[in-house]
Amino acid sequence: MSTIDEKLEPIYAEVLRRNPAEVEFHQAVREVLDSLGTVVAKHPDYADGALIERICEPERQIIFRVPWVDDKGQVQINRGFRVEFNSALGPYKGGLRFHPSVLLGTVKFLGFEQVFKNALTGLPIGGGKGGSDFDPKGRSEGEIMRFCQSFMTELYRHIGEHTDVPAGDIGVGQRELGYMFGQYKRITNRYESGVLTGKGLTWGGSKVRTEATGYGAVYFVSEMLKSRGLDFDGRTVVVSGSGNVAVYTIEKILSLGGKVVACSDSAGYVVDKRGIDLDLLKEIKETRRARIADYAEIRRDGAQFVPNGTIWDVPCDVAMPCATQNELTGSDARTLVKNRVIAVGEGANMPCTPEAVRAFQDAGVLFGPGKATNAGGVATSALEMQQNASRDSWSFEDTEARLANIMRGIHERCAETADAYGDPGNYVAGANIAGFIRVAEAMRALGVI
């Protein structure tokens, strides 16, 4: 583990003391603090007024009970969360995650990452995150609707287009957002389109929002490759996951001439040496809502389902972890390096462990951290907010062009900042420092609040 600058050690120690057992949050804070030693040395005033301490403390943490009735008439209880982390740059912005693994520490880590990710976009949005330990898998449409309505019955009092604007995340797609928006509209008697993003196109959504996180991740990795005179054309790629981010990461890679040979879900991974059949993958995951094992059964010749092991055993030129946090370990990273991977782009939030990140950096592998690489989703959410505010709707081509331009800007910002602080090519440091400076400057301007 790298060493935190001695001026920042007490800050990290206090984060550990005040947030016991929240290891993912500790990891996210540690990664940022690791990058700030050179910043504090160059600009000592950033350590004044407990500025860094305030950035590490959420402005508001909301926990609430979510009671609902299942199809058998039994009352179920889940726990809901919304962490409104930092609003120095604009209204809190960040997704809602419905998954059994969701705890307060999970939401805090995601919210902390979101602050810097949103800052990197250059758009006027703060950072937040939310969710519940509710699991939509195996639930009927009626059960999902009743849960979402109960969840919004509490959440509605904390959000608004100028206050806090949630979106989707793992377990929360257009279906869930539709039920929540309907309940918000019912309770408030307002058609406030900008209160949620990721909406359906017929009720205020933005074209490209579905594709944005995956497309944006590929745009960022493409810019990294360009920095070494390379591109995706003819490259072999492995993409973990098979949800929204993974599917549209694969789609954009294919459009750039890459060949994706493996993807996964929680039950295992599939290897298809001929290249993943995107239409079949979409049919299985978006229409049938089935398991990735079905892909191999239908595809048969050349496709193999592996229920155990790790997808990172599959040799590739480019690896894009798009499933969940800490899915790619140090051992996995060493295997990828041995198999001569040239670039890694995090499509998910913090999917690589600190040991894995160090292994890639030590080997000279291009590495795009999630707070930069997967910022395309929230960037397009901000574009959706613009359209809602102006009662407008942009074409797919226009919105995608704006997304591509934002991702190029994020890459440039990270690269130039890494250079300026003496660590050229280190996108982790570049992203952390660039995001921190933008948030810190806004916080100083607003005073001690």
pLDDT-derived band at 54 (thresholds 50, 70, 90) equals: very high
Residue 3 has pLDDT above 90, yes or no: no
Give the per-residue pLDDT at 2: 61
Residue 322 has pLDDT above 90, yes or no: yes
Please provide residue 354's backbone torsions phi and psi, each rounded to the nearest 5 degrees: -55, -40
Give the per-residue pLDDT at 289: 87
pTM: 0.95
Give the per-residue pLDDT at 401: 97
Span 355-401, pLDDT tens digits: 999 999 999 999 999 999 999 999 999 999 999 999 999 999 999 99
Average pLDDT of the chain is: 96
> Annotated catalytic sites, by residue?
129
Span 414-433, pLDDT tens digits: 999 999 999 999 999 999 99
Question: What is the average pLDDT across 291-313?
Answer: 93
Span 20-44, pLDDT tens digits: 999 999 999 999 999 999 999 999 9
Span 61-113, pLDDT tens digits: 999 999 999 999 999 999 999 999 999 999 999 999 999 999 999 999 999 99
Pairing outcome for strands 236-240 and 303-306: unpaired
Give the per-residue pLDDT at 36: 97
Span 104-149, pLDDT tens digits: 999 999 999 999 999 999 999 999 999 999 999 999 999 999 999 9
pLDDT-derived band at 1 (thresholds 50, 70, 90) equals: low
Domain annotation for the chain: domains and CATH numbers:
9-55 (no CATH), 60-191 (3.40.50.10860), 212-373 (3.40.50.720)
